[in-house]
Amino acid sequence: MNLAKKQKTLFFVNFKNINIYNILTLFMTPTVFIGLMVIQYFQQYMTVNELLMAISVGLLLGVLLRIEIHNQPNWYSQETITFSFLGSGMLLIMFAIQAIDIDLPIIFYMTPIAAFSILIKYFINERFALISSVMMAVFGSFLFIATDFGMWQLFIYLLLSQWFAVFMFESIKDRKTLLKTSTSLLSVHFVLIVIFELRTWSTWTMMSSDFILSLVFSMVSVLFAVILTLGILPLIEAGFNMLTESKLLSLSNPNHPLLRKVLVEAPGTYQHSVMVANLSESACESIGANGLLARVAAYYHDVGKALKPHMFIENQSGHNPHDSLPPEDSARIILQHPYDSAQLLKEYGLPQEIIDIAEQHHGTTLLKYFYYKAKERNSKVQESTFRYKGPIPQTKEAAIINICDSVEAAVRSKTQPTNEEIKQIVRSIINDRLMDGQFNDSDLTIHEVLTIEKNICDMLNGIFHARIEYPKDNMMHLMPGGH
Ligand SMILES: [Fe+2]
Ligand SMILES: [Fe+2]
């Protein structure tokens, strides 16, 4: 729902996520490019016309880049800094390579430009990696202008090298992917070099020193790209505290001390969180949101309950301490748990995105049970004292966890709900949240809400129908110990 989301913007700069420091870093790559072009002009490697063209291209691409960044979902300052750092770094590497030997045109085959697009894909996303690759290929073509290699050839080589790297590099989960990326990158480079050499094809071309040297340079570039990727990746990850796939995977390990604490002290909450994680990951993936982030955030969303586990129904067996408490006191304890979770997560150094989701997972919803219980005793009771403090979910992942959290709690008590019952529970929870304005800041569209609803229903139907009851008498003898 985009209805209530109006933020102050100036030249596409969203002040919510971007400060003056970010604006400066944002324009760093085009500025570095223009600076390097001016240096090349003074070194007399380019004409004044070429310099003016390069400056115009730099400015134009800078503006287009700004527009593209404006459309990026969940863009934080870390992404801006990472992009500027990688972009400027790659420009300086290319500048240094062409400076090695300006009279050797094929020196540009050594450029490890694939590392730039792999790292952008890893830290930002695939779409942005593909788009920024075009910019880097254009900048690279200008940087090697003095080498007398055809500009179109330079552009095609630099672009295809990056695009293949983006397509082949899938995930850091499996280190083999880097090997796969390198071999396919090497093949692409070889094919391009052969095509470029076809212009002057003759039997001896194959053996010419230029041709052999080109192949060697392209091999060096792939090796250089792999070393850069592996070397820079952990630096950025740690330096900017970025939430990456490998960090999320390490946080999903059940041996994490915080998850162990929940498992031991609040086993009911642990089970609930695992279930919410399964539902939200699948729902997120159905609309293209970050499923892994949702899974991990769901594991941690209720850790605050471990401070007072028996105050929460999923950890109670028989005795309910709320029976002997006034509803105001019960509400105070329960309403506090998202903030206790956030506090614990902060203490354990979890990423901000996970802390935010924990804080937002109940939005500003009303604790109906205790509100009506209090109202029975005192009709003047304030509704606001029975609402969570919020904020309401700020991202799609947070909104989905908000839905799945309530859905899980509602279906938990049912032993064998029908498909129709499941559908009704899910729909009424979603409608309730929509009417209450809980998703106003989450960027979800109506179409996405419907997709999420269907996905959750399908998941629950699958889970409940998979629970096939064993015929007791016949199965007894199969159990270990015979009973
Ligand atoms: Fe909760
Ligand atoms: Fe929960």
Contacts for 426 with CB less than 8 Å, ≥ 6 apart: 403, 407, 453, 456, 457, 460
Statement: residue 397 has pLDDT above 90: yes
Is 20 or 367 the better-scoring residue by pLDDT? 367
Residues bordering ligand 1, an ion, CB closer than 5 Å = 302
Statement: residue 394 has pLDDT above 80: yes
Please state which of the ranges 98-112, 234-248, 422-436, 439-453 shows the lowest mean pLDDT. Answer: 234-248
Residues of the chain with pLDDT > 90: what percent?
48
Give the model's confidence band at 169: pLDDT under 50 very low, under 70 low, under 90 confident, else very high: confident
| pLDDT 10s digits, 321-362 | 888 888 899 999 999 999 999 999 999 989 889 999 999 999
Average pLDDT taken over every residue of the chain? 85
Closest ligand to 388 CA?
A: 1
> What is the reported pLDDT for 482?
33
Residues of the chain with pLDDT > 70: what percent?
87
> What is the reported pLDDT for 247?
82
How many angstroms does the Cα of residue 332 sit away from the middle of ligand 1?
14
Residues bordering ligand 2, an ion, CB closer than 5 Å = 302, 405
Statement: residue 214 has pLDDT above 90: no
CA distance 74 to 71: 9
Q: What's the whole-number mean pLDDT along residues 217-236?
A: 88
How many angstroms does the Cα of residue 304 sit away from the middle of ligand 2?
10
Closest ligand to 360 CA?
A: 1
> What is the reported pLDDT for 5?
36
| pLDDT 10s digits, 66-86 | 888 777 766 667 788 888 889
Q: What's the whole-number mean pLDDT along residues 305-320?
A: 89
> What is the reported pLDDT for 173?
57
Give the model's confidence band at 204: pLDDT under 50 very low, under 70 low, under 90 confident, else very high: low
> What is the reported pLDDT for 2?
35
Q: Are 23 and 13 in contact (CB under 8 A)?
A: yes
Closest ligand to 404 CA?
A: 2
Q: What's the whole-number mean pLDDT along residues 99-104?
A: 78
| pLDDT 10s digits, 23-65 | 677 788 889 999 999 998 888 888 888 899 989 999 998 888 8
How many angstroms does the Cα of residue 369 sit away from the middle of ligand 2?
16
How many angstroms does the Cα of residue 244 sit away from the middle of ligand 2?
24
Q: Are 32 and 139 in contact (CB under 8 A)?
A: no
Statement: residue 274 has pLDDT above 90: yes
How many angstroms does the Cα of residue 448 sit away from the middle of ligand 1?
23
How many angstroms does the Cα of residue 355 sit away from the middle of ligand 1?
13
Pairing state between β 13-14 and 9-10: antiparallel
CATH topology for 245-475 is Hypothetical protein af1432 (1.10.3210)
> What is the reported pLDDT for 236?
83
> What is the reported pLDDT for 63?
85
How many angstroms does the Cα of residue 441 sit away from the middle of ligand 1?
19
229: left (phi over 0), alpha (psi -120 to 50) or beta: alpha
Please state which of the ranges 29-33, 123-127, 474-478 shows the lowest mean pLDDT. Answer: 474-478
| pLDDT 10s digits, 428-460 | 999 999 999 999 999 899 999 999 999 999 999
Q: Please report, for the chain, the start and end positions of each structural domain, with discontinuous segments joined by +.
A: 9-239, 245-475
> What is the reported pLDDT for 213?
86
Is 449 or 108 the better-scoring residue by pLDDT? 449
How many angstroms does the Cα of residue 372 sit away from the middle of ligand 2?
21
Measured on CA atoms in the order 120, 121, 123, 124, is the torsion positive or negative? positive
How many angstroms does the Cα of residue 375 sit away from the middle of ligand 1?
23
How many angstroms does the Cα of residue 273 sit away from the middle of ligand 2?
6
Statement: residue 180 has pLDDT above 90: no
Statement: residue 190 has pLDDT above 50: yes
How many angstroms does the Cα of residue 407 sit away from the middle of ligand 1?
12
How many angstroms does the Cα of residue 288 sit away from the middle of ligand 1?
24
Is 8 or 223 the better-scoring residue by pLDDT? 223
pTM: 0.68
Rg of the chain (C-alpha set)? 28
